[in-house]
Amino acid sequence: DALIDSELNAVVGYDDHYTRLEKLALISATKAIRQSGIDTSKNNVKFYLSTTKGNVGLLDKGIHDSKKLFLFNTSRLISQHFGIKMHPLTISNACISGLNAIITACRELEAERIKYAVVTGVDVLSKFIVSGFTCLKSLSPNPCRPFDIDRNGLNLGEAAATVVLKKTDREDGGFHFIKGSIRNDAYHISSPSRTAEGSFNALNDILQDFDKQQLAFVNAHGTATFFNDEMESVALDRAMLNDTPVNAYKGYFGHTLGAAGVLETIISKHSINDNTVLKTLGYEQLGTSRRIQPTTENIATDKQYFVKMISGFGGANAAALFKKGGER
């Protein structure tokens, strides 16, 4: 926490009224906005917050009546900090929240409702969150092993990640969102569909009329729980992506919940710009019923497209197709 406070002071000025989650979000958003060079005081900027639980950690401290417990107040605080005039949008849709927010922002950009979108995904650990996953018996006592035959659960992580988006021509050399899809199969509140209906339908939607041979990789959710990884293998099999390299990043930093979709898209963007498909840390031997190709090492690629897929509680699923671009 001392490191967070030091970083906060360096980028925005220290304020002890901020919660830990708010500090991380402000640090991430400030750095991204400064790097982008946009003027957030203009009327054409909108802020999107992706989080699953927000400041729920306040409950651990016996604070039950704070306005900070309401997610929209967190969005408002961050948006107002940057002088953004448009009403912010809060997206809390289980583990797909981050990618959901990116897809939603890109749709509004495409419709020319806004010129710039600032999308921040953030979640921090709390007793509330850890106890929930403990009750589901989904936590591993060891480093997680996505898609591996010996996988036995996930690791929780915490992060804040921000992307600044704008509408551009696809010929300008920038990094491009091609298409996104959100599908809910409503299978179960905490268990994924055995036939991967929502995930498959999302993949099928974004890859219609697309030559799958052009894909460098699919970045999967890859939580390392038995049911999630099995479901994703079914979705990839049904989408005929059996021979496409698949990777998952949970072995590096855990499952970061509302930040996951944003953070993992950013990492995938940088990896494809470096002509590299990252290895799936923790994976050694395939442990799913369907044949897929999890990466065991970093591999070189000259392909320009990747897919980000993600799933969450309540039957939520999302997938998006991206194209390699410049450094912006």
Note the pLDDT tens digit of each residue in 84-120: 999 999 999 999 999 999 999 999 999 999 999 999 9
* Angstrom distances, CA of residue 103 to CA of 16, 228, 253, 292, 323: 34, 22, 23, 26, 14
Report pLDDT digits (tens) over 67-80: 999 999 999 999 99
pLDDT band per the 50, 70, 90 thresholds, residue 2: confident
Close Cβ partners of 287 (under 8 Å, ≥ 6 residues apart) = 147, 148, 149, 150, 151, 229
- pLDDT for the residue 280: 99
Higher pLDDT, 170 or 51: 51
Pairwise CA distance, residues 303 & 316, whole Å: 29
Nearest in space to 28 (alpha carbons), one of 159, 140, 127: 159
Pairwise CA distance, residues 114 & 111, whole Å: 8
pLDDT band per the 50, 70, 90 thresholds, residue 326: low
Residue 255 DSSP label: B
Nearest in space to 117 (alpha carbons), one of 70, 50, 65, 56: 50
Q: What is the DSSP string of 288-308?
A: SSS--EE-SS-EE----EEEE
Going from N- to C-terminal start, the domains of the chain cover: 2-146+156-166, 176-323
- pLDDT for the residue 38: 97
Q: Please answer whether residues 230 and 222 qualify as being in contact, where contact means their C-beta atoms are separated by less than 8 angstroms.
A: no
pLDDT band per the 50, 70, 90 thresholds, residue 315: very high
- CATH number of the 176-323 domain: 3.40.47.10
Give percent above pLDDT 70 in the chain.
97
- pLDDT for the residue 14: 62
Report pLDDT digits (tens) over 249-275: 999 999 999 999 999 999 999 999 999
Give percent above pLDDT 90 in the chain.
91
Burial level of 243, CB count in 10 A (0-12/13-18/19+)?
exposed
Phi and psi dihedrals of 265, rounded to 5? -70, -40
Pairwise CA distance, residues 58 & 225, whole Å: 28
Second CATH level (architecture) for the domain 2-146+156-166: 3-Layer(aba) Sandwich (3.40)
Asked if the domains 2-146+156-166 and 176-323 are classified in one and the same CATH topology, the answer is yes
Report pLDDT digits (tens) over 145-203: 999 999 999 999 999 999 999 998 766 666 899 999 999 999 999 999 999 999 999 99
